[in-house]
Amino acid sequence: MLDAAGLPRGPDGTRFKVFHDYMPYGETYQQLGAYTRQALSTIGIGVTLRAQDVPTWFKRTYTNRDFDFMSNGMSHSFDPTVGVQRLYWSKNFKPGVPFSNGSGYSNPEVDRLLEAAAIESDPAKRRELFYAFQVIVATDLPDINLVTGPNLTIVNRKVRDHTTTIDGPSANFADVWLQS
């Protein structure tokens, strides 16, 4: 497909080169960067990893928009309107604001679905809106989700209904109670 797109391999086997700014929050992102570099090299894309401190990474990626691609960590939070919407809603493309719509993605239908889901009170209708949203972003692919980290929680036999969903400790604690 890269050949057909007019991006043939050069004499050194490389089609083109890009910078990958990985999130400087630990070894996991550095390893993801190394893996991504290796994987893309097999199809002729040269990747230069840029390691930097946290403030430099935020400024480079979210303020200056000086990156080819980056790896980042995001959380869906306790509700898609809080956690997911910020990543894909065009009105949340805010240079200088970390963990906003960093890709600059804009799709009017996605905006409409997210805005409708945010105020929908019927759970079944809300699920349908988010499903339609997912179909579109899975096709448009503004972000590629590569890794899911573990969700950890703590346990105490007296604490009941604490971790009942995948949200774990990020969940709503409205139903948590202590057994006497």
pTM for the model stands at: 0.73
The proportion of the chain whose per-residue pLDDT surpasses 90, expressed as a percent, equals 54
Average pLDDT over the chain, rounded to an integer? 89
Q: What is the mean pLDDT of residues 73-94?
A: 84
The reported pLDDT for the residue numbered 151 is 66
- 3-6 contacts at long range (C-beta below 8 A, 24 or more positions apart): none
Between 18 and 146, the higher pLDDT residue? 18
The reported pLDDT for the residue numbered 113 is 98
Between 122 and 102, the higher pLDDT residue? 122
| Domain boundaries 1-73, corresponding CATH code | 3.40.50
The reported pLDDT for the residue numbered 126 is 95
**Residues in CB range of 100: below 8 A, 6 or more apart:** 62, 86, 87, 92, 93, 94
**Residues in CB range of 114: below 8 A, 6 or more apart:** 81, 85, 88, 89, 129, 133
- Band of residue 143 on the pLDDT scale cut at 50, 70, 90: confident
Domain boundaries, the chain: 1-73, 74-145, 150-180
Q: What is the mean pLDDT of residues 94-110?
A: 88
The reported pLDDT for the residue numbered 99 is 82
Say if residues 130 and 80 touch (Cβ distance below 8 Å): yes
Per-residue pLDDT reduced to its tens digit, 20-60: 999 998 888 899 999 999 999 999 999 999 999 999 999 99
Which tokens sit at 166?
Answer: 């995948």
The reported pLDDT for the residue numbered 166 is 65
